[in-house]
Every structure is written in structure tokens, then in C-alpha cells.
Structure 1
Amino acid sequence: MASIRALPPELINQIAAGEVIERPASVVKELVENSLDAGAGRIEIDIEQGGAQLIRVRDDGGGIAHDELELAVASHATSKIGSFDDLEHVASMGFRGEALASVSSVARVALTSRQRGADAAFRLEVDGGKLRQARPAQHPQGTSIEVRDLFYNVPARRKFLRAERTEFAHIDDLLKSLALAREGVEFRLSNNGRPVRIIKAARDEAGALARVAEVLGEEFPSRSLRVDHSAAGLHLGGWVGLPTASRSQADQQFFYVNGRLVRDRVVAHAVRQAYADVLFHGRHPAFVLFLALDPAGVDVNVHPAKSEVRFREQRLVHDFLYRTLHEALAQTRAGVAPVQAVVSAPNVSWTPALTGAANEPGLSPMPWGARPLNQPRLTLGVRDEPLAEYAALFGNAASAVQVPLPDTDDSQAPPLGFAIAQLKQVYVLAENEQGLVLVDMHAAHERITYEKLKNGRITSALRSQLLLVPLSIAVGAKEAAAAEEHTDALAEWGLELSRSGPSAVVVRRIPALLEGADVSQLARDVLSELAAHGSSRRLEELENELLSTMACHGSVRAGRRLGIPEMNALLREMEATERSGQCNHGRPTWIQLSLTELDKLFMRGR
């Protein structure tokens, strides 16, 4: 083995570049984040040949003093932290002081800057880590950094660059993600001298939502929920997509911690649990969420590229995210506008078509105020008594499970309107203020029944099943410790287990609803989540799967003829039931066709 020796600075910087600079987009990220930290209000990015030939980032920020230009490209030199206390409270995007040094070690870099109030600008050039004397230059207030011939002195790294179009697409995606976090900053992107994207600064919430629509698609705002909640020193804001707007891949998930885009397993687990009851397996929600907390509560110094963080109170953050998103999704009642929490139905000045028994030839139209809103409770000819399987587990408490109908004024039109017909004994057609409502009656009733079953489980005593022979299971030391710590919480769910050794637990009872399940796998799954996150919903998820199956069998089937009162009862229950906008599998339960959309179908007004 060779003797120990100190590495030369150039090699140190190239090693650091290997950790920080993966592709041209990585360079753009570091440079733009520096511009944001400098207080820039406008940032221009010019790209040539996918960034391999040229990356130029120009901003109007505070600039760099001419006697600090050499320090700016030196290793571990920064103005953003100066002590360990600063590192514990990092509020800037960059703080390591190695970005420019790493970039300049694998490219030809030119740095031109004019500080606010300075008489002149200065330009410094670095070629493969070798500095040239700074000289005066012409430049407005702010900073421009040119990175040419990326990886010219590291041929092996240059070979790994993809096609020009691919590399530019990564840069474009990066810019859009940064634009979501800094809505007050204008971004301009050009490729090979041609303007590609101009993102104007947003001054209000409407402008911020328009920026979100530009990144996630024009349909996202109308298919999303606004989130704005604070608790325990945490604040979560942004937009979450409706379950019916889910995607086949997780390509529209943007989560920011104090303005920094991150990927975190705690966050991913909390979001997945919040959507667990409303999404198909294999589907992914879309969201743009901003978590704000005390910088001392999050460690951003855990990854060279700063793409990961570590929360000091992981369980608190996890539970806050889960409960906030879970409650937001629970408000997706049918008929409620998605981006608003509540929709008020204004007085209607026009007279819709007839409904109910009055819909006969020769009868005059009936205004909203004359229509009976006291609809009967939904039975649809299905069993009035609770499901047999459900009653066996919860007793007579199941029969008391009801969803309270919303209070309505006779002068107001209900959000889903009034039923007018049934199509092919599958869909309910209703007329509301906006136009025509189509309801999948089985999917809607399935969600209603499912929510009733879940409410009954919560409000009644959960029965457990004693195992004839206690089952001993070998687990890891962390899982065994979690079993010992959370014994009481598990017992509330009907799962009785205790630690029997350093790496073993004994299961004595399981929830009666899960009789016949794989007890060993169930215990391991629950304890694994408890060890990793401090909480587990595995028991609840398994029970929900069974309750969903029961709800499917206990709901009105397609092909059943319903009367007008029964259809109206279904509509009123949908308006009162949480998550009734989609069925248990994430499919929509209803759609709205406005008069404008109907007019377009028939080319009216042209």
C-alpha cells in the first residue's frame, strides 16, 4: 500500500465535483440557488448544447465585492455561515461553500459581478481550477457566471452525458421546480439562443396558482385542493391533487422544506398513508406542498447536493403531514368545489326543468324553492339491518351508524341538484344550478356505505380474537423494542403482543376482523412501521380493505331501477359523506357538465 499523503487541491475539488455535479442541471441548480440567496428578482439562464458547451446564469442580486471574487471560487468559502450555530439554523439555499470551486475544477468558468453601489464590475476567470487575475468589466448590478466546456478535463465524466435534448429537459424541469418555490422571482430560460420559457413573477395567490398550472398542467388547479394549516410550530401550504387526478408515476410531486425541494422518506410515507384510502394501488398523487418550520428543527447538511433533509422530530412532522392531508381529502364531498373549502349556493333566477312526480306532460315548471328538500334517508331497497359480517363484529352499534344530512334552505339549490332520470339503470342524471350532473350510483353508494362502516368501527368497541396457541415470532431488535414501547396502542386496535426476548415477540390476540390473516406477516409489517416512523396504520389499512369489500357487496348494484325519491336520497347522502367525490378505489363517483359545455357539444351560439 502506498504511503499516506495529502491530496492536491485540484483533485479534492474534482472529487467534490463528482458528488455535487452529476450533469449540467446540477450546475444550473447550484448557480441559480446562489442567485436566489443573493436576493435576485430576475434570473436568466442561457444554455448551449444541453449545457455541455455553455451554461450562463445572470441575476440582479446583491453582487460580490471585487476583493472577494477569488474567495468565491475557493473551497469551503462562503458568506452564509460562520459558526456551528449558523449551521444549526441554515436558512439559505447554499451554505457548503464548495459549489463554485467544484464547478471550476471541471470546466472553464468566468465570474463577473458588480456589487450594489459599486462604481464598476470585475471579471474573474478560472480554467480547470487555475485562477487568472481579476480585471474591470462592464456589467449591471448583479452577477453573471459562465460555465463553458463542462467536464472538458474529465473525459470519463463527459461520456456519461446524455443527448442534448435530454440534458436540456433536465434543466427545464429543474427550473420549473425552483420557480414553484420562489413565486416572486422572474425566470427566463433560453436554449441555443432561442427563448424557451419565461416565468413571470407572481404577486398574489392567483399568480402563484397560475405558475403551478404552468408547471403541472392547466387542469391541475381545478382538480386540486388548497391546503393551509398550522400546528405545533409547523405550517403546511400548497395544493394537493384530487384522488381522481392521480398519475401512473410520481412525476408531479413537489415537496419543499423552508423553500428547499427535497425527497424524504418520512414525507413520502405520510403522503402515501393520507391517500391510502382513496387511490388505486400503483397510482401516485400530484401535489405542490410547502412545509415551513424552525430551521433548527431540520438538518439540511445530510447530502452533498442538499436534496435530502433529516427532521429532528420525525414523528411530529409525519403525524402533522398525515393528519393535515387526510383531513383535507376527507372534505372532498360530492358537489363541493375542489379548490374551496365550502361552496355556497346562490339564489337561482332561472327555472330548471321538472323533476320527480311532477315531471309529467302539461305540468308547469317547479322552481328550486318549491322542491321538497327533506329527502328520505338512503335505503335503496338494500338491507335496512347492518351487514351480517359487520354486525357480528360490532354488535347492535352498527345499526346506529348514520351520516347526518346537511342542513339546507328551501330557497337554495343543493350542490348536486335534483334527480331527473336514471340512465341504463347505472347512472343517475340530476340537474343543478350549473347544468347536468351524472352519478355512478354503485360507486357513490359504495363510498357512502364504506364511510358508515368505518365510522361504526370507530364509535363502537373493537372485538379481538384470542389465538388458541400464542404465536412466537422472530423479529429484529428495533421491532422488538417497538412492540414493548407501543403495547397499549396496539391493544386498542385489538392486537395483543409482547416482547419475549431481545429479538422475539409473542402474539396472543388479533382483531376479529382480520381472522384468517397471516399473523406473522401482519405483526412484522406493523412493528416495522412502528420502528421506522413511530406509528403504523397497517392494521387500519387491512381492516379498511375488508370493510371496502363489505361495502361493495352491501351497495346498490348497477342494473337496479331506482325511483326519483331514492335517487334524490342518494344525492343528499353524497353531499354529506366524506370523500364521496370518488369511490373506494379512486374512481370518480360523479361528473359535472355545465351548460356552456353542453352548448359546445351542440354548437349553440355559433
Structure 2
Amino acid sequence: MSDIVKILPIEVSNKIAAGEVVQRPSSVLKELLENSLDANSSKIKVIIKNAGKNLIQVIDDGDGMSIKDMHSSFIKHATSKINCIDDVFSISSMGFRGEALAAISSVSMIEMTSSKNLENEGYFIEMVGGKIINEKELSLDKGTSIKVKNIFFNVPARRNFLKSDFVELRHIMNVFHNIAVSNHEIEFSLINNEEEIFYLKKESLKKRIISVFGEKIREHLIPIKENTQIANLNGFILKPEFAKKSRFNQFIFVNNRPIKSQFINHSISSSFDGLLRDGYYPGYFLFINMDPVKIDVNVHPNKTEIKFDDDQSLYSIINSAVKHCLGIYQISPVLDFEKDSSMDISYNQINTDPKIPSIEVDSEFNPFKIFNEEDFIKKDSNLELSDSLSYANEDNKLSSKIFQIFNKYIVSTSKSSLIIINQNLAHQRILYEDFLKSIFESSSESQKLVFPIEITLTKSQLILFKKITTDFDSLGFVYDLSNTLLSISSVPSQLINNSIEEIIEDILDDENIFDKSKNLSYSDFFAKKLSKSSSIKTGQSLNSNEQEFLVNQLFSCKEPNLSPDNKQIFITLNKNDIENRF
């Protein structure tokens, strides 16, 4: 009987490894940039075409390679970063596994040039599907250039699963942001479809963050610095008012390596308790430096997950350091123990105008007259009568057809049932259909602003905004765009009482804008986003006319049962449902 266990050919094993290492074009860029960093580069240039699907090129002025090193670099588990097993437990380089180039070359076309001396002596290698098809000597400056073309050309199923160009470009921008911020002493440039997006000179960490994320972030940066025996922390925390609805501004680096860590995120977020609105996330650029022996980077091939020897102590250190940082800059709320609580204003009275107190005068009152028992009883009975009348009036209100409970639900009745409506979801549905109608019929009404709203866009936001201008126009926005400055002079009438700047930034920072699994189109995304931002919020009190208007508008919608995100808007309780409760 013949043996059935076989050793896979190299090209097959490399393609299998590519499934973990090369998930999308941004994965390729990450590996190439890490190689440039490990080569001691001082200048790195990135060239992208068609969101990396057709070309990803990284050019550096690093140490370079000999022709033998170039050949070896495409062999699986060949690396210059480690030599023995002990090195695995004290990794200081960005790469070390020796898998990336072998995996990348197996699913793409590669052109590499490199020179390791200043005498312009270099070499060129061309590969297709992991096989060398051409090589020659060239006259080159010191450094390395590698082109990765037509990713997944020989794995059509994987290529078909790539997202739209803008989704893939956003992932590429995220990788570039991580590497550029954590290596501010290196000069970077990024060119997308022959348009220069970034040119970053060598600068301080603070200036690099401002260069990447825009001038508006400057005034919100709070420095953090803490040195302990376990780890040294430094970087910047963003003020609570700069918090976003996405985790777009959350960056964690361990020994300059960008990582993802839920427990570090939780440690920082818990430091902001009481300072953030519901649904908002803090922003930060946190650098953690610690002994490489105390961490394990070899958890996953993408090297973004790390295991810590003493994660509980690290959690406490980060939590207390962030709280201390917020306290020093007087961000945390202050408690006044000498304040007289009797002078507090209730939440219900904050937005109401003060009323002139009414003064009633009893013209028959005589302070020198002694009250007799009959007068006292008479006055007391009148008091009880007035109290009973007030309760009767309240009962009459409750018996009306529509009323509000908990400042969250509207209760209405039909002939045979009780209907409980979520006011927030109901208003979302009404606005959603209204916005969609405005987009498709170009019938939106604009409200001119007294003072234009100016928003400085980041480079990433600008790229996205240029893609969605058509839908933006059809909604009723009137604006002028000059470089990165967006000046809005008119807005849709439904948004006139909302924070326009916050809504626009929330749209441009949302990672799901081009996710077809969650949004049918850009128009659908816009309508969902704007309806959520401008809808009646939970906790808002409505008068009887507003309640009735909301109910009538809801049941005039094409789909009154579900919110734009497919949540149930109302429930119906018939007589049997109620009786079964007793």
C-alpha cells in the first residue's frame, strides 16, 4: 500500500502562507515598509496605483543587498533579523519570520533592484509567481526598490474578494499613518495614482502627528510621559472634546511596532469615564517601550498582536498615567465640596426660561383676627378639593390617545391594541426616507447659514470627499473647497439645528462608507448617517403636537416597521398580551 502523506511543493506552501501574510494590498505595503525600516533607511518613498491592486512600490536609501541576499530573501524562512532560538524571545527588529517576501512573490509579479555600496553597483531581479524570469547588473544608488504588481493575479478568487479601490486605499493609508507616526525621524512620501498625498520631512513626534492628521489636532494634544520599572510610556492623549464615534485616532506602539490590543484600549478608555459622550471613543498616540524579553511578538504572522508577561501591571500603569495626564491639564471634572446643594438646578429646568412668581393677596386677611375652628376646617377642605382636581386632570391626560413615557417611547392606541414606539428609531426612519427622496429627486431644500462653517480636512478625508461630492451636492449642501479647507455656506433644512462639522467628520471617518454589505450605495450610507445624526434623541421630551406629528409621519413611510439599520421601531400589545401578564 502506497504512502499518502506528502511534502507540499514550495510554490504550494508559499501560496498557503500568503493567505495569512498577504490579506490585501495594505498587508504587502506593511511588510515592505518594515523591511525598509530594518534596513536603516532615512528616506522612504511609497508609490501606489489603483489602491495597490496594480502596483505597490517602496523605494528606500537603506543598507541594500547583494545579489545572493536578493535571491535568498525570496526563500521561505530566510531572514537577516535573527540567528538562533534565543533571538526569537528578544526581538527588536520589525520583521523576523522570513515569510513575507516568499509569500508575496508567490501571488504577484515582482521587480527588485538593490545596491549596498556607494559605487553605483547594483542588481535587478524580476519574478512572476515566485519564479525568477530575469536578472541583471545595473548602476544604482545605494538602497532598495521593490515593485509588487498585479497582486493575486494567479489566485482569481482572492482578487475578486478585494474591496473597492477606496476601501483598499483607506487600509493603505492606515498602514502608512502607523509607520509614518512611529518613525518621525525618517522622511516619507506617498504618491497615489501619480498624485502626491504626503511629503513628510524629519520632524518631532508632535509635528509629525500634525502633518499627518491636520492642523486642527494641534490644540487637542496632551503630552503623556511615565517611566516605570515595567515600561516607559510617552506620546499624546487627545482631549475629550476631540473624541470620535470611530476608533480612527487610536494608535498604540510597543517598541515602535504598531499593535492592536483590546486590554490597552480598555485601560485608556476607562480613564476617560465621565468625560465622553455615549458612543464616542478617546483618541491617543501611545508609545510603550519595554524590555523585548518581556513580550512575545510571535503570536500571528501579521505581528500586530503581542503577549505581555505582566499585562495586569501594565494595565494599571497605563490607566493611572492617563488619569494623571488628564488631571495635570485640568481635563477631569472638579468636585466642589463647599457647594450648597440646595442651589442646584434640576435637569428639567436648565433649558426653561425663568418665570415671574405670581403673588396672591387676600384682601380680607386680618393678622389680628383669631382664627376659629370653622374657618380652619373650611380652608382645609378647599385644599383637599383642589388637590383632587389636579389629580383628576392628570388622569385625563393619561387617557388621551397619544402620550410619552420615559422620554423615550410614544404610546398610542388603536381599536384593539396598544402601540409602543421608539421615538429615536421612528424619527430615523422618517428622515432616512426624506433624505433618500432628496438625493434621487434632487428636490432637497437648503438653508443658508449666517456664517459659513469651515472644516479643515485631513489628506485621507480629502481623498474620500472628492469621491462623494455628487451625493453631497444632491443632499442640499452648498460649499467651496480650496485645498484642504471645506467652507459650507448652506445645509439641508433638516440639519439646521445640528452640529454640521461633527456630522461631516463623522461621515468622512466612517470605515463602512464603502462597505456594500452594510450599505446599498453611497446614497444609502449618507441617508443612514444623516438620519442618525439629526434624529430626535432618547431622553428628549416632546409635547403632544410633536408626538402626534411623529406618529402620523411614521405610518406614512413606505417601511414603518424597521429603522434604517433594520431595528424594530414599535411593538404592538393586544388585549390577550396584556391579560397574559396578570
Global fold match (TM > 0.5): yes
Alpha-carbon shift at residue 266 of structure 1 (Å): 2.2
What is the match of residue 193 of structure 1?
194
Alpha-carbon shift at residue 334 of structure 1 (Å): 6.8
Q: Is 2:69 aligned against 1:62?
A: no
Q: Partner letter of residue 150 of structure 2? A: D
Q: Partner letter of residue 23 of structure 1? A: R
What is the match of residue 461 of structure 1?
none
Question: Displaced runs of 4+ in structure 1, greater than 6 A?
Answer: none
Matches within 5 A, 1:31-430: 31-117=32-118, 119-132=120-133, 134-202=135-203, 207-333=204-330, 379=338, 381-383=340-342
Alpha-carbon shift at residue 210 of structure 1 (Å): 2.0
Task: Give the TM-score, by structure 2 length.
Answer: 0.56
CA distance, structure 2, for counterparts of residue 320 and residue 379 of structure 1: 32
What is the match of residue 20 of structure 1?
21
Alpha-carbon shift at residue 332 of structure 1 (Å): 3.4
CA distance, structure 1, for counterparts of residue 289 and residue 169 of structure 2: 31
- Describe the shift of the 1:142–1:75 C-alpha distance in structure 2 as closer, same or farther (beyond 3 A): same
What runs of 5+ residues in structure 2 fail to find an aligned partner?
A: 344-351, 355-582
Q: Partner letter of residue 209 of structure 2? A: V
Alpha-carbon shift at residue 5 of structure 1 (Å): 1.1
Q: Partner letter of residue 276 of structure 1? A: D
* Deviations 1:15-36, CA, capped at 9 Å, x for gaps: 1111011111111110011001
Q: Partner letter of residue 112 of structure 1? A: T
- Describe the shift of the 1:51–1:252 C-alpha distance in structure 2 as closer, same or farther (beyond 3 A): same
CA distance, structure 2, for counterparts of residue 314 and residue 233 of structure 1: 10
CA distance, structure 1, for counterparts of residue 158 and residue 134 of structure 2: 29
For the residue of structure 1 that corresponds to 2:341, the secondary structure is coil
CA distance, structure 1, for counterparts of residue 332 and residue 73 of structure 2: 57
CA distance, structure 1, for counterparts of residue 326 and residue 91 of structure 2: 33
* Deviations 1:409-439, CA, capped at 9 Å, x for gaps: xxxxxxxxxxxxxx989xxxxxxxxxxxxxx
Alpha-carbon shift at residue 335 of structure 1 (Å): 12
Alpha-carbon shift at residue 129 of structure 1 (Å): 1.1
For the residue of structure 2 that corresponds to 1:226, the secondary structure is strand
CA distance, structure 2, for counterparts of residue 209 and residue 73 of structure 1: 38
How many pairs were matched up? 344
Q: Is the 8 Å Cα contact of residues 41 and 59 (structure 1) preserved in structure 2?
A: yes
Q: Partner letter of residue 265 of structure 2? A: A
Alpha-carbon shift at residue 70 of structure 1 (Å): 0.7
What is the match of residue 469 of structure 2?
none
Matches within 5 A, 1:527-542: none
Percent of matched pairs sharing the same residue:
33
* Deviations 1:45-94, CA, capped at 9 Å, x for gaps: 11111111111110000001122111011100000001111111100111
* Deviations 1:458-488, CA, capped at 9 Å, x for gaps: xxxxxxxxxxxxxxxxxxxxxxxxxxxxxxx
CA distance, structure 1, for counterparts of residue 339 and residue 287 of structure 2: 44
Q: Partner letter of residue 60 of structure 1? A: D
For the residue of structure 2 that corresponds to 1:43, the secondary structure is strand
CA distance, structure 2, for counterparts of residue 14 and residue 247 of structure 1: 39
Q: Partner letter of residue 382 of structure 1? A: S
CA distance, structure 1, for counterparts of residue 331 and residue 59 of structure 2: 48
Alpha-carbon shift at residue 133 of structure 1 (Å): 5.3
Alpha-carbon shift at residue 225 of structure 1 (Å): 1.2
- Describe the shift of the 1:5–1:271 C-alpha distance in structure 2 as closer, same or farther (beyond 3 A): same
Q: Is the 8 Å Cα contact of residues 257 and 292 (structure 1) preserved in structure 2?
A: yes
* Deviations 1:373-411, CA, capped at 9 Å, x for gaps: xxxx98555359xxxxxxxxxxxxxxxxxxxxxxxxxxx
Q: Is the 8 Å Cα contact of residues 112 and 144 (structure 2) preserved in structure 1?
A: yes
CA distance, structure 2, for counterparts of residue 316 and residue 21 of structure 1: 34
For the residue of structure 1 that corresponds to 2:234, the secondary structure is strand
For the residue of structure 2 that corresponds to 1:122, the secondary structure is strand
Q: Is 2:4 aligned against 1:3?
A: yes
Alpha-carbon shift at residue 109 of structure 1 (Å): 0.7
CA distance, structure 1, for counterparts of residue 24 and residue 315 of structure 2: 32
- Who wins on radius of gyration, i.e. which is larger? 2
Task: Give the TM-score, by structure 1 length.
Answer: 0.54
Q: Partner letter of residue 328 of structure 2? A: Q
Q: Partner letter of residue 46 of structure 2? A: I
Q: Is the 8 Å Cα contact of residues 14 and 106 (structure 2) preserved in structure 1?
A: yes
Q: Is the 8 Å Cα contact of residues 24 and 162 (structure 2) preserved in structure 1?
A: yes
Q: Is the 8 Å Cα contact of residues 14 and 105 (structure 1) preserved in structure 2?
A: yes
Q: CA RMSD in A?
A: 2.4
Q: Is the 8 Å Cα contact of residues 57 and 145 (structure 1) preserved in structure 2?
A: yes
For the residue of structure 1 that corresponds to 2:216, the secondary structure is coil
Alpha-carbon shift at residue 290 of structure 1 (Å): 0.3
Q: Partner letter of residue 39 of structure 1? A: N
Alpha-carbon shift at residue 118 of structure 1 (Å): 5.1
